[in-house]
Amino acid sequence: MAAPFVPKMTSKLQGISVLGEGHRRSWDGVLVELWEAEGAGGARAEYISEHPRLFILLDQSGGEFEMLLSPDRRSMPRRHAPRQISFIPAGVPLWSRVSSTTYVRHLDLHFDMEALRRRLADDFDREPFEEPRLMFTDERLMTFANLIAAECENPRAFHDLYGDSLTTALFIDFLRSSPRGERRRSALAVWQLRRATDYIEANCLRAIRLEELAELVGLSPSYFSHAFKAATGIPPHQWQTDARLKRAQRFLLGSEMSLSEVASATGFYDQAHFTRVFRQRLGIPPAAWRRERRG
């Protein structure tokens, strides 16, 4: 079992009182905190975290709640309103202040970038996580945020897979909502594609890390993943699956190996997994495919 994710954040509060003990839930590489707080007029706070986080304002009443990327009061404030979302990258300090007595209820999602990369695989793009985004709105994100908040408050929480699914869906929608999310990527050059596909086919029976393939052609994992799909129409892991299936077809035609033996020899978990993937990609179960070709 992986060690629980423990984010490190320092804060300095002046005139802000936390109401109650809050609620916390931890999922794969994500710590979710649900807080209620009240700030007196002129209250302020400073935060800095070693990990990126999403700040989602669920409810607010009273005075104005402002967030700034500079402590200078002369800088233009950003007035936060309920149902608004802010993203703060790792290591970026954030200041907040209130004009008069204000109540806020908010959700914080602290997350580990490496764990997020593993979860999102080929959908992961690091760029949207490099720049702060303050006070934007997105109804789909808010729907997931409210479901996550309800799960935090529920003393009889559902299975961890439910929380994992909610947070994964939220992060995918965050990527899609990013202004950079629709930027088109160039396809791999011919030599890069050949080097990557030759490597995949030569090593398809073992787990191949995305970093291995990216390093072969001198690209970042995120850029490589997009460029590979732009060149082939499928992500790298699907190319590897197809390479395994081609080997399996050769075994099915050229040997008397059982389906379980073919599955083991071509890197699938078991016969059931092999049969399911084979049928999904080729439209027919492997046993029927073998009978037709041999017939």
Predicted confidence (pLDDT) per residue in 48-74, tens digit: 888 899 999 999 988 888 888 776 654
pLDDT at 2: 53
1: pLDDT strictly greater than 50: no
For 43, phi then psi, to 5°, come to -65, 150
Give pLDDT tens digits for 166-193. Answer: 999 999 888 888 765 444 557 888 889 9
- Alpha-carbon span 243 to 202, nearest angstrom: 9
Q: Tell me the backbone φ, ψ of residue 131, rounded to 5 degrees.
A: -125, 140
Residue 91: pLDDT band with limits 50, 70, 90? confident
Which residue is listed with tokens 């994710």?
Answer: 5
Residues in Cβ contact with 25 at an 8 Å cutoff, skipping those fewer than 6 apart: 31, 32, 148, 151, 152, 157, 163
Specify the higher pLDDT residue, 295 or 122. Answer: 295
Chain mean pLDDT for the chain: 86
pLDDT band at 75 (very low <50, low <70, confident <90, very high): very low
pLDDT at 193: 92
pLDDT band of 126, cuts 50, 70, 90:
confident
The pTM of this model reads 0.61
Alpha-carbon distance 112 to 90, whole Å? 10
